[in-house]
Structure 1
Amino acid sequence: MNDKATITGNLRALGVQSGDLLMVHASLKAIGAVEGGPRAIVASILEAVGPNGTLMGYASWDRSPYDETLNGAQLSEERRRNWPPFHPETAGTYRGFGVLNQYLVDTPDALRSAHPDSSMVAVGSLAREMIEPHVLGRAFGQGSPLERFVKRGGKVLLLGAPLDAVTVLHYAEAIAEIPGKRRVTYEMPLLDPQGQTIWAHTEDFDSNGILSCFAIDGEPDAVETIANAYVLLGRHREGPVARAHSYLFDAKDIVEFGVEYLERNFGAAGLT
């Protein structure tokens, strides 16, 4: 069984430094048993980035009605009336993006962004800057936490998580100048200033397939495709953290590569 000191030492060997702005994606199964459990893993990462560092995660929401309202789909009036509104301080996290995110949300002084389906959580010196603002219609693109994360020199940490988990590449999808980007509409229940639930309609890029060729069931999406191509360049760090094979990426570098990859292969020039 690994302990907090081992995890912290592994992270430093991987290249995590004090003062880092770090976005983590983790597989607890891949990490294996750790003394103190997931809370100790969060504490290890926070120790590695130090008091001047910041830790981020992609929390989303376990009650997001994204699929139920996607592209005009309708909830019954009863389900709509009984659906809970999103509240950053009490909402659960979507387990499909990693159980560790719930422990990150529950960490003292953690802050969470206001976008229900794409909510981010952050702890540390830049937490407030990372999570505000985060409005509907700007989940991952311009004006989003991901844009600020990239501009602030963030790093992406995969702790045993697969390469399709590099959320920051959704920012590359959003800003790449390529024709035919897919967009979606959906609704989210929010609280108005009077504490009443309102259903907000929004439109955004399709993060499940920015182009039709990346929206085929069972086939890699753009994030996985770009991340695999990027790893072949060897511009990253990788190694063990506990039992997990892990990766450390420079966010700005992988985003710039992702934009170039999309524009070269799917931009107007590449289609002629």
Structure 2
Amino acid sequence: MRPGARLLVHASLGGTGLRAERLRDALTGALGPHGTVVVPAFTPENSTTSSAHLALVEGLGDTELRAFRDRMPPFDPATTPSQGMGAFAEAVRTSPGAARSAHPQTSFAALGGDAERLCSGHRLESHLGEDSPLGKLCWEGGQVLMINVGFSACTAFHLAEYRIPKPPLRMYECVVKVNHPGWRRGRQPGGEWTAYEDVALDDSDFAEIGGAFPDSRVRRGRVGGASALLFSIPDAVDHALEWMTENRR
């Protein structure tokens, strides 16, 4: 890692012996005061359209479904925990001085010298596109560190989906706190439902895309007892764009 770098980290610490807080402190120390650690702080259950939400409501009748929807808490970037992102992501998100972007489904949290700027201006219609922290990280030459996870979890590949010609689009719907930057008038007490169109994200082939990523572009090593990969976000996006253009229909 380069001192002063902007580093997007995916980490699964179960069984590694690594503690989230110690890893956070080690990375921020290695990057120095001008470096920034970034993590996904996604909330996929805050939706009526995501697979995570659909799994929660599977088998519910119409009345139960309406009641479940009415109980869904609106997304608040200051307080809503991430879902399924792991202990390390939560350790970064809840650190004093951390910033978080405002997207109600695919927010990022960051800690370090450039945290506030990277997390600002995350547009509702850009889950993981150019107007997201991921887009900024790519344009500014950020790196990805993956600890104990494979390429199927490589968020950087999603940016390539925005760069393919005429990407497929779909509608999304989620509930946000009133006065959230993306809110529109809806029906939810304490929050507002908002619907928007964005790229139809698909990570089903990410493991295959990663398997074709040239070894010359990836540094492999270990963090504690866990395997780790380090690579450039621009390299990953360029590779994924080329692969998707040739292989996706």
Q: Same fold (TM over 0.5)?
A: yes
Q: What SS is found at the alignment partner of 2:197?
A: strand
Question: Which of 201, 206, 209 pairs up with 1:226?
Answer: 209
Task: Quote the Cα distance in structure 1 between the aligned partners of 2:208 and 2:248.
Answer: 13
Task: Quote the Cα distance in structure 1 between the aligned partners of 2:119 and 2:149.
Answer: 23
Correspondences of 1:188-267 after superposition (within 5 Å): 188-193=174-179, 196-209=190-203, 221-230=204-213, 232-266=214-248
Aligned residue for 1:172? 160
Residues 152-201 of structure 1 show CA distances to partners (whole Å, capped at 9, x for unaligned) of 11000001111111101100111122x6x443322111122399411001
Q: Does 1:87 align with 2:79?
A: no
AA aligned opposite 1:154: G
Unaligned runs of 5+ in 1: 1-15, 210-220, 268-272
- How many angstroms does 1:126 deviate by? 1.4
Task: Quote the Cα distance in structure 2 between the aligned partners of 1:118 and 1:103.
Answer: 17
Q: Does 1:163 align with 2:178?
A: no
AA aligned opposite 1:256: D
- How many angstroms does 1:226 deviate by? 1.5
Residues 115-173 of structure 1 show CA distances to partners (whole Å, capped at 9, x for unaligned) of 11101101111112211111222101121211111011100000111111110110011
Unaligned runs of 5+ in 2: 181-188
Task: Quote the Cα distance in structure 2 between the aligned partners of 1:62 and 1:167.
Answer: 14
Residues 25-71 of structure 1 show CA distances to partners (whole Å, capped at 9, x for unaligned) of 011025x224xx2111111111111110000001112642234479x
AA aligned opposite 1:56: V
Correspondences of 1:1-272 after superposition (within 5 Å): 16-30=1-15, 32-34=16-18, 37-61=19-43, 63-65=45-47, 66-67=50-51, 68=53, 76-95=65-84, 97-177=85-165, 181-193=167-179, 196-209=190-203, 221-230=204-213, 232-266=214-248
The percentage of counterpart residues that share the same residue type is 28
Considering only aligned residues, what root-mean-square deviation do their CA atoms show, in Å? 2.4
- How many angstroms does 1:111 deviate by? 0.7
Q: TM-score, normalised by structure 1?
A: 0.78
Contact kept in structure 2, 1:25 and 1:161, CA below 8 Å: yes
Q: What SS is found at the alignment partner of 2:162?
A: helix
| Aligned residue pairs, count | 232
